[in-house]
Chains A and B, each alone.
Chain A
Amino acid sequence: MLCIAADMLARKVIAEETKTPENELSFYKAQGGKLYLDSGDCYFNFSHSEDTVALALNRHREVGIDVEKIRKISLNLIKRVCNKDEIEFISNGNGLNSDFAEGEAAERFFRIWTYKEAVLKCSGEGIISELYNISYDKDRCFCEITDGYCFTCVTAE
């Protein structure tokens, strides 16, 4: 159901932005699975998590967005996807001492995770190297935490 909601949101917003009737919008899927407008009038990307949908749209540049509900995360997963500097950032310099990250530490993990996902989705290439090789750059993204969700958006440089 949420995929359908994301699709409907994308169509509505793209139609308004490009001043094109919704039923005249046509899309194609590139090799990496990313959707594009046939007309090329704008770039877009969407994401969904639980009951939330997010859409990013940019007239001139590739864009990627990811949204995730913030929840406790296992240390094994953090070590799997994060490099040393990112683990340091998540632990806030205190080290991760339990099996899970919760609260603010979990928020910091999701800032990193949604950034990596947004970068991958922006490129449209899918995973081409290990996730820990995509280094978190807080100055390269727009990130917002609200209502228990973390939203991160990146645009191509």
Chain B
Amino acid sequence: MLDRIRTIICEFVDMDPKDITLETNIRKDLGLNSLELVNLAVDIEEEFDVEIPDKEAMGLETVADAIKVIEKYMD
């Protein structure tokens, strides 16, 4: 799952996927603002076939948080 998220994130930021870890902070380390965070959530939703409420999408801090949220909403 981490590799799939890395691929999605690298569509938004120009970085080496290997530099994206579970501890990577989506806002601070990746520099994503609110709109980009929602855009990331949209792409994650499409990739994993889940629906993430906006409150949780915009509350994501780390990549690990994103994985937890995906797992929470997966069937």
A interface residues, Cβ below 8 angstroms from B: 49, 68, 74, 76-77, 80-81, 113, 117, 126-131
Residues from chain B with Cβ under 8 Å of A128 in the complex: 55
Known: A127-B58, A130-B54. A117 touches B38 (CB 8 A): no
| Contacts between the two chains (Cβ within 8 Å), count | 34
Q: Report if A77-B54 is in contact (Cβ < 8 Å); known contacts: A68-B35, A113-B35, A117-B34.
A: no
> Measured between alpha carbons, how far is A74 from B39 in the docked complex, in Å?
9
Question: Which B residues are closer than 8 A to A by beta carbons?
Answer: 33-35, 38-39, 41-42, 46, 53-55, 58-59
Main secondary structure of the interface of B (DSSP, over half): helix
**Other-chain residue from A49, A74, A129 in contact with B42 (beta carbon distance below 8 A):** A74
Minimum Cβ distance to chain A for residue B32 (Å) = 12
A109 to B, closest residue via Cβ: B35
Measured between beta carbons, the chain B residues less than 8 angstroms from A117 are: 34-35
A-B contact pairs, 17 of them (CB 8 A): A49-B33, A74-B42, A76-B42, A76-B46, A77-B35, A77-B38, A77-B39, A77-B42, A117-B34, A126-B58, A127-B54, A127-B55, A127-B58, A127-B59, A130-B54, A130-B55, A131-B54
